[in-house]
Chains A and B, each alone.
Chain A
Amino acid sequence: MLEKRIVVCLDVRDGKTTKGVKFQGNVDIGDPVEMARGYYEAGCDELVFYDITASSEGRGIFIDVVERVAREIFIPFCVGGGLGSIEDIRRVINAGAEKVSLNSQAVKNPAIISEGAAIFGRQCVVLGMDALKDPAMPSGYQVVINGGRVHTGRDALAWALEAEKLGAGEIVLNSIDTDGVRNGYEIELTKMISEAVGIPVVASGGAGEPEHLAQVLSEGRADAALIASMVHYGDYSISDIKRHLDSRGIPVRRT
């Protein structure tokens, strides 16, 4: 039986893992390569690294981080943040990433999804989507970009379906409403998107305790759950979370 994945997310800025609340007030919390190795050894199923660097100098440091991570961990990992061209994608793939996450850039230029899928395969192209509750939208959620600061006027469900058609192989679905506040994932949004598309959906935004993962992986129909703060600050270990999911009858990888 296919197991539900626990995906640990690391935001990287100037070579350091950093963590913010609702995209504001970031603090550095450690070395991404060491943290990645720690999570790998602890039994995490997959990792995501977001480059939140603004400078071109930071870009170079980030690629170096990706290369070093690739030599340390032997599970899949995805890289996102500011990838706007096929060349950008090629650079992180060649550095050792398994997948790339396209977010704001995909909204601005949807063709990058189909071009990326044609060159690197669908499995490589992940749509990263930030969604915000908006009763004026047909699905009740609007796509936002640039870390939630810019409203796109696009409906979240319509965009998910379009991205799937364009060739995305997976969706990382982040709720801006619940992100960083550790009160649980946006179950309704996740369920709606996951049931509508035929590709895997990774729920993101709001994990604070193991039961939140259990909810989004069962009621929310997510294929995987993304976590950050709850493990970065040492509140829970990967095995605490897996033990809890197992007790809830959710299939997880034993390590």
Chain B
Amino acid sequence: MIVVIDYDAGNLRSVETALEHLNSDFVVSANPEQVRGADTIIFPGVGEAAHAMGVLRRRGLDQALREAVGAGVPTLGICIGSQILLDESLEARDGVTRCIGLEAGTARFFSEDFAKRGISGLKVPHMGWNQVQPVDGHPASSLFDGIEPGSSFYFVHSYYPAPSDDAVTLGITEYGFPFVSAYGRGNLVATQFHPEKSGPVGLKLLDNFIRNFGG
């Protein structure tokens, strides 16, 4: 059974309708025991990092997720999920927000990095369809099976994941500069874009995850 983690982070309805469309067996759950017992985990969401981490901690879901991923449960993080699986996020009321820490790295802020690099005229949030270039030879590249390289996926975010280890980069997207739009290590994969909102290619990617990675 696929467990979709519910932590009050925005719209889970679109993930549910996509999984229904794929005829997947799934349950939406805020229960850490159910997360520990999952065959496969989807960790979606939109929202604000500090708020999301607060809810996860209160419900004991951060620890359940660490244990499940540590035990080898195939897990897909989406959007803010891809950011807070990292060590920390710069989206914080002051300083940084400590995150789940399943992959080394930081969620960084486009506006700040545009200013540092002297890039102007780009809107934040990065909202809309943008191309994802899969990295050849990555162990998790079967996530993109049957999807033409450079296909467009739907994004909506102001922060982006910056994993420390280049070897985990699974997909790259250009917005002012190239950033990691998908990464993976072992049983953990994550996309900054929303496969559930990315039309036929997005549904294909979700299906690939469930078939090629799913427990």
Contacts and interface: CB of A to CB of B under 8 A. Distances in A.
Nearest to B13: A96
Contacts of B11: 93, 96, 98, 124
Interface in A159-217: 169-170, 198-200
Interface of B: 10-11, 13-14, 17-18, 20-21, 46-48, 111, 122-131, 151-152, 154-158, 174-175, 196-200, 202-203
Interface residues of A, number: 32
Contact of A98 (B14, B122, B131): B14
B47 to A, nearest CB: 5
A71 B128 contact: no
Contacts, number: 95
Nearest to A170: B127
A70 B13 contact: yes
Pairs A-B, 10 closest by C-beta atoms: A253-B129, A96-B13, A253-B152, A123-B156, A3-B129, A2-B130, A200-B123, A121-B47, A200-B127, A5-B128
A224 interface: yes
A223 interface: yes
SS class, residues of chain B in contact with chain A: mixed
Residue in A5, A45, A74, A75 whose Cβ sees the most chain B Cβ within 10 Å: A74
A93 B124 CA distance: 22
A92 to B, nearest CB: 10
A74 B123 contact: no
Given A70-B13, A74-B203, A98-B11, A3 B152 contact: yes
A223 B203 CA distance: 25
A150 interface: no
Contacts of B111: 198
Nearest to A44: B199
A146 interface: no
A124 B48 CA distance: 12
Contacts of A95: 13
